[in-house]
Amino acid sequence: MTRYRCLAALLIVSLLTVTAAAQRERVRGFDGPPSKALAAVFEKAGTVSYAGVRKVEFRSRDGFRSLNERILRQGWKMRIEYQGGSAFDGQVIVEDGRTRLHLIPKLKQIRKLPSRRDEILFGLSGSVMRSLDPEDGRPTMSEVNGGKIAGVGCQLIHFKRANGTSIQKMWIDQRRGAILKREIMDSRGRVSARYTFQRIKFDPEIEANTFGLKTEGVEVVTMDQLLARAAKSLKMRPYRLPESRSCRLVFVSKRDTEEFRSLIQVYSCDEGRMTLFQVDGDLNREALHKLARGRYLVHSWKKSGRSFALIGRLDEKELKEYAGKVAVKA
């Protein structure tokens, strides 16, 4: 695989991450009557409680791949246990409303992440609005009876572009404000990812220690530490966006081959998710913009002999301002 084909694969993953990002704002700008079911999701986010198992599916080159998640939720608190023999099997994520911990048994490691309390609403508006192009025309939102998911009656909320292609579908238990099924579509209206609850029990008894993890015998690391380690292994400096309450580092990855070395960081910001690339060598700017498909802006530059690219759904001025903040943490 060539340097640029490797970069293309990484960018596609990045853009999917951006599309799936969450925001705190309500869905707006859509033609259609107000939705009581959608309002219930926001109104009851801090009180809904359930235990269940859901199947998560996502499109890959080889078709759809799937994994199972066991979920316990109590308002803003959540515990996700991965099951079913996938690459995530045995991993556990807990969120207590302040901190997010990710246990990776194979590495004997717990990753300490910023809280994603604002993302528990699963990106109701952020991912919808950022999948639109203002030139496409005004989108629509409709609501109909969605039948039953895991034995629970639901309302189906359907978001469409002005040309009629689907953006997202959500099956919501209006009584409790729980999303029991969700489908995310690509620009052509094809399902790119979905989750579906197979079974669910509301208001279960949940033990007080459910939303914590035992740290004996495992290493607890922060995102800053992971970034520093990844950069050092690539013989790069740990350039990053400055940490703030409005923009937090949530993911670090690297690629190190004979042809291609890159450091990838994903940030959860008030304006949406942004992905920062640091690459050993030159970037093909034309390829970058082509991959962004006009829906995500790419700002690229060189510094200290390295190539950088920042990707996000911001206007050019905002993206450039963020790029100007990229530096090694003091």
The answer to whether 222 touches 110, Cβ cutoff 8 Å, is no
Percent of the chain whose predicted confidence (pLDDT) is above 90: 46
The answer to whether 131 touches 122, Cβ cutoff 8 Å, is no
Query: How are beta strands 152-160 and 166-173 bridged, if at all?
Result: antiparallel
Instruction: Name the CATH superfamily housing domain 31-209.
Output: Lipoprotein localisation LolA/LolB/LppX (2.50.20.10)
pLDDT digits (tens, 9 = 90+) for 129-174: 444 555 556 788 889 999 999 999 999 999 888 888 998 999 999 9
pLDDT at 58: 87
Top CATH class of 3-13+222-328 equals alpha beta
Query: Domain extents for the chain?
Result: 3-13+222-328, 31-209
pLDDT at 133: 52
pLDDT at 14: 39
Helix (H, G, I), strand (E, B) or coil at 287: helix
pTM over 0.75: yes
The secondary element (H helix, E strand) that includes residue 13 is helix 3-19
* pLDDT > 90? residue 230: yes
